[in-house]
Structure 1
Amino acid sequence: MSQSSTGKSNILLFTVDQMRWDCLSIMGHPVVETPNLDQLAKSGVLFDSAYAATPSCIPARAAIFTGMSQRSNGRVGYQDRVPWRYEHTLPGELAKAGYHTQCVGKMHVYPVRNLCGFHNVVLHDGYFHHNRNRTATAFSSHLDQCDDYLVWLRQTAGAEHDLLDLGLDCNSSTVTRPWHLPERLHPTNWTVEQSIDFLRRRDPDKPFFLWTSFVRPHSPLDPPQAYFDMYKDVEMDEPPVGDWVDEELAAEGAYEPTTIFGKIPKRRLDRARAGYYALISHIDDQVGRLLKVMKEYGLYENTTILFTSDHGEMMGDHHYFRKALPYEGSAKVPFLLYDPSGRLDFKAGSRVSEVVELRDIMPTLLDIADAPIPSNVDGQSVLPLCQGENPFWRNYIHGEHAFGRLSNHFVTDGRIKYIWYSQTGEEQLFNLTEDPSEKINLAHSPLYSSKLSEWRSYLTQELEGREEGYVHQGCLIVGRKPTAVLSHIL
């Protein structure tokens, strides 16, 4: 059956974990190959300035689930084991609108079996240290409850297998080695296999919302051998390093496999980037696999597809790794929307320059479903932008992340970015149009003094009244203790 009896569009949301905005070949990346995603972008709408306002897994997913800004949803940093108690969620509102809702893969909510409005979840969040605490009295049974992929892997390949078999850390972005089992057993393949199984078992009288949520290319960097071979001998350019980077300090972190800041030997960095790009190409092929099966089921033409990432990965830019930072590699994400049916009247093959954020996903998908958008949603539907209209749009977004001495805030419109490190008071200003790699800090340039004041005032307005006390008498206050979770959701 090609569509539900309601005539509403099915919705397929692809999310990946820790994929940089520029790692699509259609974006001009010199190395990575993503033909299936490129085709979606060529037929749909590609966004040039999409961001995760709080770029790590939990707060980014809170924005997707709730449509709220980080100030509203309360997650302004990374903190595990804080219960999710939101009245309105994306899958919950779609379920109310008559959709059959399913998530496969990573949710990263708490408790881990919290459905958050889904009818069902098939779960693989990746390796979580708090779930693996072997001092817990019921370790084995608890782990079985947390991870459907690991249970499946042991049933399929043998009880001796575990997520640690390769010896790679789940937060290491600097080392890689190929996947050691048959490719069909990789979690990326499993995520698509389970998504296909949902298509087989879905309620044919309802439209569906399927969230296919990949853990990769988040580390461990463990691509199947065939994909690693695509990139392992490719000559890699040097990553950008800004004029503001402390090279001596970077050298001190060079040999820690899970470093956040370190000048990594080029050979090791190139292998890590090869593994990272290989994981992205692997995902691209598996996206193509799922789309082919949707065509076989007669579902493709009536399914609207959105692809994005929860945040990026610095991957050596300015000698930084991982996420939680305000720079483009960490906070900027791929974002593309495709409507095969043509019902939504998109300007196919167009690109949108307006700044969008993960909070815009919920109102966009509810708009597609002709479902009401709850009043507490801060995001905006991007459909008018996709249709070539010129709606009133936000002037900028405010992003932040509690991150110890690197706790940061930023405001950007995709052309200018202002950054403030709350613990040191360091300011940075970048002209992203002329300097997309953020190599030249303009904060101390006399030519940009008025621009610096303007953008600092935007951040001051955003932080006014915050419980941390970041603003006093209209000025930013340095050294106020950051918190990962605001008190109103505890």
Structure 2
Amino acid sequence: MARNILFIMCDQLRWDYLSCTGHPTIRTPNIDALAARGVRFSRAYAQSTICGSSRMSFYTGRYVDSHGAAWNNFPLKVGEMTLGDYLRPLGRQTVLVGKTHMAADTEGMARLGIDPNSLIGTRVAECGFDPYERDDGLHGSGPAGRYDPKPVRYNDYLRDLGYAGDDGWDDWANAGEDEHGNLLSGWLLRNSTRPARVAEEHSETPYMTRRAMEFIEQAGEAPWCLHLSYIKPHWPCIAPAPYHAMYGPADVPPPVRSEAERAQPHPIYQAFLNSRVSRAFSRDEVRDAVIPAYMGLITQIDDQIGVLMRFLESQGRLDDTMIVFTSDHGDYLGDHWMGEKDLFHEPSVRLPLIVVDPSPAADATRGSVCDALVEAIDLVPTFVEACGGTPQPHRLEGRPLQPWLHGQAPASWRRHAISEYDYSATGAAISLGVAPLDARLFMVVDERWKYIHAPGFRPMLFDLAEDPHELHDLGADPAHQAQCERMYLALAQWGLRQSQRTAISDERIAAMRGASVRKGILLGFWDESELPDELLHEKWRGAREALR
């Protein structure tokens, strides 16, 4: 049983941008060391490829279709249980440092009379966490004001250090300057080659690492689950010195793409190809500018994980803490002629996932790679079991990873992984003329095949064995119709699962069977003679005797 849980999440980190997952040039020795101490899951998938909806699945242990927070700023409805609701009864403080991208269901809270300033109200509004420091890292400002108008503690921190102005995130941590001292926005892709104006030790990643260490030190002997949620390497893609110049275009793998992909593309794929960000990342000059900075931000995270591991060791917490390293989704970075993460190719939907279980039961698997199909929703039940609890399958749709961590392959495991994408808020839905309720995509992947169901359009299909880079969409090929039908049937079976009966467990239902008849609800009996002795109330015995 783990005393503590350190749940580290990066934002928009591709699964293959670590040296332990095969990147040819990036340096991530501290993350690699975690993989050497634990299990690296090579086929882990996000439940969605957009920040908010993916994270809500991580925190609830439920599919997007179940929790309903299907895109950024779609509220997580009041009543959805989250990680803290499962772990606090098991004696674990459940604390946040960094990002959740959760939008609170303020209408639901008002309807139920929940005071947002109360302890319960804070937890409902903060995705179940006690926010030691909530910072979604999206503090851009423009002529219409700031994107996130709430006060930012990080801005206060920078101002206290002497950085001028009230908008340090936008003016210092995510901005550069030219040779004449002019301010250059980190949002503009050509500025990615410049160093951020902030000193490295004052940039976001070291700051959040220090805040995490402050919490751990403050917690003392009280067991905890700490979600350290870095905003990087998410855009703006500008890194502080020396990380801005650590890599160059020669360190960037060539893009995975082909002209054939653009010849007769699926209409939804075409709509995303037409987006500004995809058109930008289809240009080599953009990739050569942005990706080295992206890699530098990853190596900065790696260095800070090294700082954090040494701190845990000094506190005596390294050997009793379960450590998870992952990301909420990936980034196309120009692969398949796309930027961002709007579809289901592997660079977007596949996750880096490393789990270090401190228990002796996991000793046999240290440094191993597990190829089982794993989903983001598996982490909550894994944490529950690590803390000595029993996962609740009527609420949690994932499965604990302990069998794989302990070298005991389960008798049965999922044959398919599912991811969902609600594109109703995107320009693609507008250009395709798709109503919000119809703008949904579903991915089903098994050991070999990846199938994308697109209501109103033909499916997409990729053969991952023959076409591992997903360059040939077989969804319109009559020769693969049977394969499409097989995968659609798997999706249909998933859609028929029980997902909304969360207020009562299977065990309670089983205990209810026959309870009403034992309490005098006697349906279908003709007279007292048909009642077995155990159902015959004392007051009716005279009537049965009279029948004899």
Same fold per TM (> 0.5)?
yes
Q: Which whole-Å deviations, capped at 9, do the CAs of 1:69-106 have from their partners, x for residues lacking one?
A: 11111133x14152542442112321221112221111
Among the aligned pairs, what percent are the same residue? 29
The residue that corresponds to 1:21 in the other structure is: 15
Q: Secondary structure at the match of 1:50?
A: strand
CA gap 1:87/1:426 in 2 versus in 1, 3 angstroms: closer
Instruction: State the AA in 2 paired with 1:443.
Output: G
CA contact (8 A) 2:97 2:132 kept: yes
Provide the rounded CA distance (Å) in 2 between the counterparts of 1:426 and 1:317: 23
Matched, 1:434 2:466: yes
Please report the TM-score for the alignment, with normalisation by the length of structure 2. 0.75
Secondary structure of 2:365's counterpart equals coil
Deviations 1:23-47 (A, max 9, x none): 1111111122211111111221010
Partners of 1:263 and 1:296 in 2: CA distance: 43
CA distance in 1 between counterparts of 2:444 and 2:271 reads: 30
> For the structure 1 residues 380 and 244, does the alpha-carbon distance in structure 2 shift closer, same or farther, using more than 3 Å as the test?
farther
Query: What is the deviation of 1:12?
Result: 0.5
Give the match for residue 487 of structure 1. none
**Structure-to-structure mapping, 1:88-107, within 5 angstroms:** 88-107=81-100
Determine if the alignment matches structure 1 residue 415 to structure 2 residue 448.
yes
Aligned to 2:383: 365
Aligned mates of 1:169, 1:248 — CA distance in 2 = 35
Q: Tell me if the contact between 1:17 and 1:309 (Cα under 8 Å) persists in the aligned partners.
A: yes
Q: CA deviation at 1:364?
A: 0.5
Q: 1:339–1:83: structure 2 CA closer, same or farther, 3 Å change rule?
A: closer
> What is the CA-CA distance between 1:243 and the residue it aligns to?
5.8
Q: Say whether residues 1:117 and 2:128 are aligned partners.
A: yes
2:138 alignment partner in structure 1: 127
Amino acid of the structure 1 residue aligned with 2:150: L
In the alignment, structure 1 residue 178 sits paired with structure 2 residue 195: yes
Deviation of the 1:286 alpha carbon: 0.5
> What are the equivalent positions in structure 2 for 1:216-227 lying under 5 Å apart?
216-227=232-243
Structure 2 counterpart of 1:286: 304
Partner residue of 1:316?
334
TM-score, normalised to structure 1's length?
A: 0.83
CA contact (8 A) 2:326 2:353 kept: yes
Distance in 2 of aligned mates of 1:444 and 1:81: 33
Shift of residue 156, structure 1, vs aligned partner: 2.4
- For 1:230-258, what per-residue CA distance to the aligned partner results, in whole angstroms no more than 9, with x for missing partners? 212525332111465226999999998x5
Task: Please tell me whether residue 69 in structure 1 is matched to residue 63 in structure 2.
Answer: yes
Distance 2:449 2:74 in 1: 36
User: What is the rounded CA distance, in whole Å, between the counterparts of 1:319 and 1:155 in structure 2?
Assistant: 43
Distance 1:106 1:149 in 2: 13
Counterpart-to-counterpart distance in 2, 1:448 and 1:27: 31
Find 2:155's aligned residue among 132, 138, 150: 150
Contact 1:47 1:353 in 2 (8 A): yes
Cα deviation 1:319-356 (Å, max 9, x = unaligned): 11111311111111100101245354551111111111
Q: Is the 8 A contact 2:2 2:322 kept in 1?
A: no
State the distance in 1 between where 2:261 and 2:191 align.
Answer: 19
Structure 2: 5+ residue stretches without partners: 106-121, 176-183, 430-439, 499-548
Partner SS, residue 480 of structure 2: helix
**Letter paired with 2:15:** W
Between 403-412 and 356-365, the greater mean CA deviation after superposition? 403-412
Give 2:401's aligned residue.
Answer: 382
Find out whether 1:241 has 2:257 as its counterpart: yes
Residues 416 and 445 in structure 2, CA contact (< 8 A), matched pair in contact too: yes
2:348 counterpart letter in structure 1 = S
Q: Secondary structure at the match of 2:8?
A: strand
2:191/2:238 contact within 8 Å kept: no
Residue 143 of structure 1, CA deviation: 2.1
Structure 1 residues 38 and 434, CA, compared in 2 at 3 Å: closer, same or farther?
A: farther
What CA distance in whole angstroms lies between the structure 1 residues aligned with 2:18 and 2:288? 18
Preserved contact between residue 95 and residue 117 of structure 1 (Cα < 8 Å) = no
2:16 is paired with a residue of what secondary structure? coil
Name which of 208, 212, 222 aligns with 1:195.
212
Distance 2:8 2:157 in 1: 22
Verify the 8 A CA contact 1:49 1:414 in the aligned structure 2. Answer: no
Give the whole-Å Cα distance in 1 for the aligned partners of 2:259 and 2:444. Answer: 21
| Higher normalized contact order (CA 8 Å, seq sep 6+, divided by chain length) | 1
Is the contact between residue 2 and residue 358 of structure 2 (CA under 8 Å) also seen in structure 1? no
Change (3 A) 1:443 1:190: same
Deviates more, 1:36-45 or 1:411-420: 411-420
Aligned pairs for 1:328-477 within 5 A: 328-345=346-363, 347-374=365-392, 375-391=394-410, 392-403=412-423, 404=426, 405=428, 407-423=440-456, 425-445=457-477, 447-463=479-495
* AA of the residue aligned to 1:163: W
Aligned to 1:164: 170
Note the alpha carbon deviations across 1:122-165, whole angstroms, 9 max, x for none.
02101157xx68868xx899521xx3222222222335143222
Cα contact 2:84–2:93 (8 A) shared by 1: no
The letter for the 2-side match of 1:98 is G
Please give the alpha-carbon distance, in whole angstroms, between the structure 2 residues aligned to 1:176 and 1:55. Answer: 27
CA shift in 2, pair 1:355/1:372, >3 Å: same
SS of 2:250's equivalent? coil
- Which amino acid in the other structure matches residue 441 of structure 1? D
SS at match of 2:292: helix
User: What is the one-letter code of the residue matched to 1:97?
Assistant: L
Return the letter of the residue paired with 1:433.
A
Distance 1:401 1:40, change over 3 A: same
Going by fraction, where is helix more abundant, 1 or 2? 2
CA distance 1:408–1:168, shift in 2 (3 Å): farther
Residue 63 of structure 1 deviates from its aligned partner by 0.7
Match of 1:55 in 2: 49
SS of 1:157's partner is coil
Q: Secondary structure at the match of 2:322?
A: strand
Q: Check whether the contact 1:67–1:361 (CA below 8 A) recurs between aligned residues.
A: yes
- Structure 1 residues 275 and 248: CA distance shift in structure 2, 3 A: farther
Shift of 1:312: 0.6
Asked whether the 8 Å contact 1:36–1:285 carries over to 2, the reply is: yes
- Let me know the Cα RMSD of the aligned residues: 3.1
How far did residue 302 of structure 1 move? 0.9
Whole-angstrom distance in 2 between the partners of 1:58 and 1:456: 26
Q: Residues of 2 paired with 1:106 and 1:385: CA distance?
A: 29
Aligned partners of 1:324 and 1:331 also within 8 Å: no
Q: Give the distance between the partners of 2:390 and 2:274, measured in 1 at CA.
A: 52
